[in-house]
Amino acid sequence: MISQILNGHEQGFWVITDGSQIWLNQGELPHGKAHEFNLTNCEAFVVGEYGTSPVWLVTQTRSSGMYSPRQLLDTDIELFQLIGKAVQLSEFHTSHRFCGYCSTIMHPSRTEWAMLCHNKACRQRYYPQIAPSIIVAIRREDKILLAKHTKHRNDIYTVLAGFVEVGERVEQAVSREVKEECGIEIKNIRYVSSQPWPFPHSLMLAFMADYAQGEILCDTKEILHADWYDTHSLPNLPPYGTIARRLIEDTLVLCRNDN
Ligand SMILES: [Zn+2]
């Protein structure tokens, strides 16, 4: 939370980001001393440690070599999570330079990840926004529901997902999204796991559920096609390392047991 001005000799991993894209050194997250990446005299925050190396955040835009953090999805999950944290904090700092109540310039807190308004008559405190979203795998006996989303490139079929709406319980969001996107009703909704997802500031809450009733009727704005698949006829699935793939694999185990 306390930023420092780099003298050039600090070492570690460097997340050089504008809050959406990050700078990669020949496709890799830069690792080494600050001066090797022209970071001397830049302001930096330590966002965590990976192994014995600190992971630094530097908010900076470079004219070339900026990529989506998706390029690093193959990275070890612990490091990818710290990269995501840095990207989100950078976006938070950039989008909270001024107080929304009184327009005064704000500064990062020295004790927590927050931005503080220094206007004595205001003193608002802002925290990074986290948008909860749900992702759910649905089983019907020995089959899993998989859908081709309009926003996905390639020919990938995956589980259903969507954002939790204001004033809504997470379980309600699961049922609502499934009903809206595919027209069916579900039961036995079980929480499985979570994954921070920095695109741009989501926290994905993963569930498994069972089919209850209804016929598939896709919302064509979001879903191009959806169907029930058994383990012998699977379409192209999302890559390993994503929470979607984990949900699919866990559900396929149940499908096989139902056979
Ligand atoms: Zn203020």
For residue 223, what pLDDT is reported?
A: 94
Ligand 1 centroid distance, CA of 97 (Å): 11
Asked if residue 37 is part of any domain, the answer here is: yes
Ligand 1 centroid distance, CA of 24 (Å): 36
| Domain's final residue, options 48, 70, 95 | 95
30-76 tens-digit pLDDT: 999 999 999 999 999 999 999 999 999 999 999 999 999 988 988 88
The pLDDT of residue 179 is above 80: yes
For residue 46, what pLDDT is reported?
A: 97
Question: Residue 156: beta bridge partners?
Answer: 236
**In the chain, how many domains are there?**
2
135 and 254 housed in the same domain = yes
Confidence of residue 240 (pLDDT cuts 50, 70, 90): confident
141-152 tens-digit pLDDT: 999 999 999 887
The pLDDT of residue 189 is above 90: yes
Asked if residue 125 is part of any domain, the answer here is: no
Burial track 40-62 (b if 16+ CB lie within 10 A, e otherwise): eebebbbbbebeeebbbbbbbee
Ligand 1 centroid distance, CA of 45 (Å): 24
Ligand 1 centroid distance, CA of 109 (Å): 14
The pLDDT of residue 259 is above 70: no
Ligand 1 centroid distance, CA of 120 (Å): 8
* Residue numbers belonging to the annotated binding site for Zn(2+): 99, 102, 117, 122
| Domain's final residue, options 71, 95, 119 | 95
Task: Give the residue among 41, 45, 69 at the shortest CA–CA distance from 56.
Answer: 45
Ligand 1 centroid distance, CA of 16 (Å): 29
For residue 213, what pLDDT is reported?
A: 97
The pLDDT of residue 258 is above 80: no
For residue 30, what pLDDT is reported?
A: 97
Ligand 1 centroid distance, CA of 121 (Å): 8
70 and 160 housed in the same domain = no
87 and 169 housed in the same domain = no
CATH number at residue 86: 3.90.79.20
| Domain's final residue, options 95, 110, 142 | 95
* Residue numbers belonging to the annotated binding site for substrate: 70, 112, 127, 195-202, 244
- Compute the average pLDDT of residues 78-99: 95
Tell me how far apart the alpha carbons of residues 58 and 22 are, in angstroms, rounded to a whole number.
10
Ligand 1 centroid distance, CA of 103 (Å): 6
Domain extent, residue 250, equals 131-258
Task: Return the percentage of the chain with pLDDT > 90, whole number.
Answer: 87
Mean pLDDT of the chain: 94
Place of tokens 């699919």: 248
Ligand 1 centroid distance, CA of 101 (Å): 5
For residue 230, what pLDDT is reported?
A: 94
* Residue numbers belonging to the annotated binding site: 70, 99, 102, 112, 117, 122, 127, 161, 177, 181, 195-202, 222, 244
211-230 tens-digit pLDDT: 999 999 999 999 999 999 99
For residue 132, what pLDDT is reported?
A: 97
For residue 140, what pLDDT is reported?
A: 97
